C-alpha cells in the first residue's frame, strides 16, 4: 500500500507540474495576461495614413503604454484611416486637444500611436475624437522627397 | 523483373494489411475508454510509468535546448542589433515547434519503446493469451490504460519542455549574455499569442501523443512473439514514431500557421 501511495503522489506531482508549465506559458509567455479586461474607454483618431499600424499595436503617452489599438478602418468619404483605441480608464484626464501621431519604435521596430497632451481643461470622453493627428512617416516617401530635393539643389 | 514486381506487390499488400490491423486495433482501444473510467487506478499506474518516468529526460533536455537556442539566437540577432528579440525567438520556436516535436521524439524513445517491449514480451510469454483464457479482454485491461496515459502525458510533457526551455533561455540570455530581462519578457509577451501559438502547440502535442502511443502499442501487440521479433518491433516503434511525428508536424504547421 505504501508503494502505491508514493506512486500516486508522484503522478500527482507530475500532473501538477505539467499544469503549472501550461499556466506559465499562458500567463508569463503569451499575451493572455494583457487580455484581462481592464476598464477602458474608446477614442478614435483619423489619420491621413496609418502606415504599418496594426490591431493590438500599443498606444502610449509620454512613453508610457496606456492602451491598445482595437480597430483600423478606411473611411470611404474622407479617404482617411480611422483608428479606434482602447485607453485604460486609469488615464481619464487626457485633454480633448490631445495630438495623436504614429511613430516607429526604433529604426525597424513596430509602429505605435503616441498621444501628446494639449492644454485644454476638458478631458476626452468615451467615444471621443482626437482632432489633431500626424500621419505615419512612410520611409519611401521621405527618402523620395529627400532625393528629389538634393537633385533640385544640384541644378 | 517478375520477381521484383512480385516482391513489390507482396510488400505493398503486407503494409496495407498492417495498416488495416492497426486501424482495427485503434477502434478497439477507443472502445475501451469508457470502461477505463470505471477503473481509474489502472490509468494512474500507467501515468506513472509513461509520464512520471519521462519527466526527468524531458525537463533536462528542455533546459538544454532552451539554453542552446538562446546562445545560438543571440549571435545571429546581435548582428542586427536585435538582441531584445531573443525572448520572442526562443519562446516562439519552443512553443510552436521544438516543444511538441522534441518532446514527442523523446517520448517515443523513452516511453514508446518501453511500451512496445513490455507488450511484446507479454505476448511472447503468453500473458495476453492467458488473460483471454480468464475472460479478461487484454485490450481493455492492458492497452487502453497505456494509450490514455500517453495521450494525457504528452501535452503535459510538451508544456513542461517549453516552459523549462524558456527559463533556460532566459538564464543564458539574461544571465550570461546580458540581454535586458524586461525586454526579453515583454517582447515575448507581445510576440506570442495565446490562441495562435500556445493552444496550437498543445494540439500538436496531443496529436503526437496519440500517434506515438498508437504506434508503440500496436507494434508491441503485433510483434512476432520471439525475442528477435520484440527487438525489431521496438526499433520499428522508434523509427515509425519519428517519421510520423515529423511528417505530421509539417502538415499541422501548414494548417495552423499557413494563413499568416
DSSP B49-82: IIIIHHHHHHHHHHHHHHHHHHHHHHHHHHHTT-
Q: Output the pLDDT for position A38.
A: 67
CB burial of residue B122 (10 Å; 0-12, 13-18, 19+): buried
CA angle B82, B84, B90 (to 5 degrees): 100
Q: Output the pLDDT for position A32.
A: 66
* B55–A28 CB contact, under 8 Å: no
Strand ranges (E), chain A: 40-47, 58-61, 64-75, 80-88, 99-104, 111-116, 128-130, 132-134
Which cell numbers in the block locate residue B211? 500517434
**Closest alpha carbon within chain A to B163:** A21
User: With 90 as the cut, is the pLDDT of residue B136 above it?
Assistant: no
Taking the C-alpha atoms of residue B14 and residue B188, their distance in angstroms, rounded to an integer, is 49
Better-scored residue on pLDDT, B213 or B257: B213
Write the pLDDT tens digit of every residue in B52-64. Answer: 889 999 999 999 9
Q: Does A29 touch chain B (CB under 8 A)?
A: yes
Q: Which residues sit opposite A82 in a β-bridge? A: A46, A73
Q: Output the pLDDT for position B106.
A: 94
- Domain boundaries in chain A? 2-33, 38-143
* B193–A33 CB contact, under 8 Å: no
Which cell numbers in the block locate residue B154? 504528452
Residue B36 C-alpha from the chain's centroid: 22
Query: Which of A155, A143, A144, A63 minimizes the C-alpha distance to A103?
Result: A63
Q: Output the pLDDT for position B161.
A: 94
Q: Which residues sit opposite A72 in a β-bridge? A: A83
First to last CA, chain B: 49
Q: How many CB pairs under 8 A join A and B?
A: 86
What residue spans of B80-199 are helical by DSSP H?
Answer: 86-92, 99-107, 113-124, 127-133, 138, 144-170, 181-191
Q: At what angle do helices B99-107 and B227-257 cross, to 10 degrees?
A: 170
Helix and strand counts by DSSP (H, E) for chain B: 13, 0
User: With 90 as the cut, is the pLDDT of residue B217 above it?
Assistant: yes
Taking the C-alpha atoms of residue B92 and residue B98, their distance in angstroms, rounded to an integer, is 9
pLDDT average, residue stretch B142-171: 92
Going by pLDDT thresholds of 50, 70 and 90, the confidence category of residue B259 is: low
Q: Which residues sit opposite A123 in a β-bridge? A: A95
Q: What stretches in chain A show pLDDT beneath 70?
A: 1-4, 31-38, 106-109, 155
Which cell numbers in the block locate residue A24? 506559465
Question: Cβ(B208)–Cβ(B157) under 8 Å?
Answer: no
Question: Cβ(B36)–Cβ(B47) under 8 Å?
Answer: no
Query: Which of A10, A126, A139, A34 minimizes the C-alpha distance to B44?
Result: A10
* A25–B155 CB contact, under 8 Å: no
Question: Cβ(A148)–Cβ(A89) under 8 Å?
Answer: no
Report the mean per-residue pLDDT for chain B: 89
Write the pLDDT tens digit of every residue in B171-185. Answer: 998 888 888 887 888
Q: Output the pLDDT for position A1.
A: 47
Taking the C-alpha atoms of residue B242 and residue A26, their distance in angstroms, rounded to an integer, is 28
Q: Output the pLDDT for position B38.
A: 82
Interface probe, candidates A12, A13, A28, A30, chain B, greatest B C-beta count within 10 A: A30
Global confidence as pTM? 0.77
* B52–A34 CB contact, under 8 Å: no
Amino acid at each position: 500500500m505504501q508503494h502505491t501511495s508514493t506512486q500516486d503522489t508522484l503522478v500527482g506531482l507530475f500532473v501538477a507540474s505539467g499544469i503549472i508549465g501550461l499556466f506559465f506559458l499562458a500567463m508569463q509567455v503569451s499575451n493572455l495576461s494583457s487580455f484581462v479586461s481592464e476598464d477602458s474607454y474608446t477614442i478614435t483618431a483619423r489619420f491621413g495614413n496609418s502606415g504599418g499600424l496594426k490591431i493590438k499595436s500599443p498606444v502610449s503617452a509620454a512613453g508610457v503604454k496606456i492602451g491598445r489599438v482595437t480597430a483600423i478602418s478606411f473611411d470611404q468619404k474622407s479617404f482617411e484611416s480611422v483608428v479606434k483605441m482602447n485607453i485604460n480608464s486609469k488615464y481619464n484626464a487626457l485633454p480633448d486637444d490631445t495630438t495623436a501621431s504614429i511613430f516607429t519604435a526604433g529604426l525597424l521596430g513596430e509602429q505605435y500611436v503616441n498621444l501628446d497632451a494639449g492644454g485644454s481643461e476638458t478631458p476626452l470622453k468615451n467615444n471621443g475624437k482626437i482632432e489633431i493627428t500626424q500621419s505615419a512617416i512612410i520611409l519611401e516617401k521621405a527618402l523620395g522627397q529627400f532625393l528629389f530635393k538634393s537633385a533640385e539643389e544640384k541644378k | 523483373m517478375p520477381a521484383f514486381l512480385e516482391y513489390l506487390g507482396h510488400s505493398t499488400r503486407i503494409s496495407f494489411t498492417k495498416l488495416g490491423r492497426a486501424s482495427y486495433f485503434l477502434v478497439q482501444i477507443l472502445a475501451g475508454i469508457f470502461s477505463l473510467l470505471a477503473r481509474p487506478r489502472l490509468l494512474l499506474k500507467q501515468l506513472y510509468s509513461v509520464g512520471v518516468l519521462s519527466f526527468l529526460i524531458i525537463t533536462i533536455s528542455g533546459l538544454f535546448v532552451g539554453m542552446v537556442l538562446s546562445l545560438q539566437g543571440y549571435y545571429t540577432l546581435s548582428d542586427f542589433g536585435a538582441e531584445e528579440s531573443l525572448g520572442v525567438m526562443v519562446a516562439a520556436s519552443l512553443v510552436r515547434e521544438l516543444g511538441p516535436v522534441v518532446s514527442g521524439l523523446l517520448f517515443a524513445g523513452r516511453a514508446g519503446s518501453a511500451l512496445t517491449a513490455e507488450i511484446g514480451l507479454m505476448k511472447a510469454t503468453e500473458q495476453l493469451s492467458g488473460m483471454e483464457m480468464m475472460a479478461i479482454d487484454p485490450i481493455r485491461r492492458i492497452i487502453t490504460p497505456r494509450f490514455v496515459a500517453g495521450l494525457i502525458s504528452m501535452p503535459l510533457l510538451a508544456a513542461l519542455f517549453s516552459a523549462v526551455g524558456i527559463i533556460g533561455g532566459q538564464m543564458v540570455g539574461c544571465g550570461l549574455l546580458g540581454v535586458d530581462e524586461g525586454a526579453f519578457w515583454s517582447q515575448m509577451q507581445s510576440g506570442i499569442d495565446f490562441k495562435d501559438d500556445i493552444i496550437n502547440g498543445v494540439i500538436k502535442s496531443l496529436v503526437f501523443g496519440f500517434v506515438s502511443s498508437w504506434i508503440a502499442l500496436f507494434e508491441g501487440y503485433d510483434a512476432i512473439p520471439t525475442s528477435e521479433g520484440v527487438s525489431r518491433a521496438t526499433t520499428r516503434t522508434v523509427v515509425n514514431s519519428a517519421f510520423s511525428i515529423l511528417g505530421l508536424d509539417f502538415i499541422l504547421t501548414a494548417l495552423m500557421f499557413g494563413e499568416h
